[in-house]
Chain A
Amino acid sequence: MSTATVPTRRRIDLPHLAVLGATFILLLLVWQFYVSVIYDRAIPLPTPGSTAVAFVEMLQTGELQEAALESLQVLALGGIPGVVLGIVLGLLIGGVRPLDTSLAPYIYAFYATPFPALIPIFVLVFGLGNVGKAMIVFTLVITTVLLQTIAGVRDVDGRFLEVSHSFGSGRFRTLLEVQLPASMSFIVAGIRLAIGRALVGVVVAEFDTALSGLGALIFRHSGRLRLSEALVPALVFSVAGILSFFILKRAERRLERWRQLG
């Protein structure tokens, strides 16, 4: 019996889960109490109860699924090409030092622009439809993934490259078989950051056009002061953000191992 070697970190920490569950219930109770007892202004605030009711109703009418599908479509349409092109260009620019030096500062300057300021321009140029929104997502995703891929390739341990070189691999092969795998944790971090930015981009663009998607649903219900119904799609966005964040963060930690020598 060698129980000492079993890593205890993996085990589920029951007391901690109990504390977390209790906190969650407490937070909901405080929220409900505040709205129904203390808050006394005319605008009806959502409560946990009313939000749950709104959620079920919106599922039954189907408006929630429909809007979620529209938003997802925009995200996929712009996001998938953005990720692929971001990785390819990132490998190219990161792998060729002079390209890195000459282009990376300008990509960074674009990345540093507070992107909501660009959204009216995209809507103006590409219209109110899905193309405009997908272009916003594409632009946000490609810059984020590109910069992270460049950073990953730039940071690959020099010894990996020496080994690859001394075994006679050319630059292209080294890029694909050494630098790409070693940069995977950076690339996944880029995708994680890109999803965060893309979700904000989509929701704001959907406010701007107010035609389709979860953002338009939030906008329309808020305008009629149906705030519980407005909160439901906002929570769907949150859940998407939180889930993608934690799943990709986990993947990043696993892939981090490929950066180190054994």
Chain B
Amino acid sequence: MATEVIVTPTAGNSAARRLSVIFGNKWVQRLAGLLFVLAAWEWAFTGGRVNPIFSAPPTAVVGSLPKVLGNEQYLPSVLSTLRLFGIGFAIATVLGVFFGLLLARVRLLDSSLTPYLNALYASPLPALIPIMTAVLGYGLSTKLVIVVLLAVFPILVNTQQGAKSVDETLLEVAKSLRVSESRLWRDVVIPSSLPYLIVGLKLGAARGMIGTAVAELYTSPDGLGYLIHQYGFRFDMDAMLVVVLTFTAISLALSLSIGMLERRVRRWKVVGS
């Protein structure tokens, strides 16, 4: 495309050419981007531009890494956050897939409930948290309800769409061969709705992590949310950011691994079709 650097072979200046090849490299550009982001961050937080109490330049954040990672509560907090997310996401996946398939299969349920499910999907559900804690208390169950409520709708809606998008001819062939309902599901419906399901899982995981963070910060502090509160009470911005970056790392790891799964499934699809 027109935006790429054009290196003309007639230009005798080989040093300039080598430079443009180096800076045309994707990884060099990414590294430059990282350096730029870090430099801008450092610049903004040093030289008295920000109240020193809240100042958290990257050098200070890196400097507080040993302190936070060495905190005996750090590892248990990470595990507690992962557990809350893991259990909630698993429940959301089971519920989402089950009801998604059910709705795709039963016409009356589909036409009567789908708009309401979409409405719940579009609602800012964390608005209900104080009501949930008033009714259900501050225990694990409230936190799980929050994670499940946020994660379930993308999974449900995408599974439903996937199961409804099964190729009609495939269904007809299967029916004319008198394939049993269970084989129809195993060989036709599930494989062709898998790519949709994975998109649902990806969106659901991202929302589930948001739910996990809200639940751990705004019901009774727990896991990484508890750590953020603890460091917040001491105005320790650097340490807070290390904990936030832990959240970021977990989210990115999730999103990348589901993305890999997505590419795998796409490849099957291409081969199969």
Contact = CB atoms under 8 A, between A and B. Distances in A.
A21 to B, nearest CB: 10
B247 A117 contact: yes
Given A27-B116, A114-B247, A117-B224, A103 B37 contact: yes
Interface string A153-184: 00000100100010000010000000000000
A109 B119 contact: no
Interface string B242-259: 011101100110010000
Interface stretch (B64-72, B91-99, B128-136, B185-193): B128-136
7 contacts: A20-B111, A106-B37, A114-B251, A115-B210, A117-B217, A121-B241, A227-B135
A225 interface: yes
Contacts of B206: 112
B217 A119 contact: yes
B10 interface: no
Contacts of A218: 127, 130-131
B219 to A, nearest CB: 10
A113 interface: yes
A246 B228 CA distance: 36
Top-8 shortest CB links A-B = A102-B33, A222-B130, A245-B122, A114-B213, A238-B123, A97-B3, A199-B124, A23-B112
A76 interface: no
Interface stretch (A142-150, A228-236, A252-260): A228-236
Contact of B232 (A22, A105, A120, A245): A120
Given A24-B116, A96-B3, A124-B235, 10 more contacts: A20-B115, A23-B113, A103-B37, A113-B244, A116-B210, A120-B228, A196-B122, A207-B218, A223-B134, A238-B119
Contact of B33 (A103, A114, A222, A233): A103
A219 interface: yes
Nearest to B25: A101
Interface in B211-253: 212-214, 217-218, 224-225, 228-229, 232, 235, 237, 240-241, 243-245, 247-248, 251-252
B interface majority secondary structure: helix
Interface in A170-227: 171, 196, 199-200, 203-204, 207-208, 214-215, 218-219, 222-223, 225, 227
Given A22-B112, A103-B37, A208-B218, A200 B210 contact: yes
A158 B218 CA distance: 47
Nearest to B123: A238
Contacts of A165: 2
A114 B253 CA distance: 13
B123 A241 contact: yes
B111 to A, nearest CB: 6
B209 interface: yes
A262 interface: no
B60 interface: no
B124 A109 contact: no
Q: Which of B116, B135, B252 has the most C-beta atoms of chain A within 10 angstroms of its own C-beta?
A: B135
B255 A112 contact: yes
Interface string A114-130: 11111111001100000
Nearest to A126: B54
A157 B40 CA distance: 34
Nearest to A221: B130
B1 A161 contact: yes
A98 interface: yes
Contacts of A237: 123-124, 127
Interface string B16-38: 00000001101001101110110
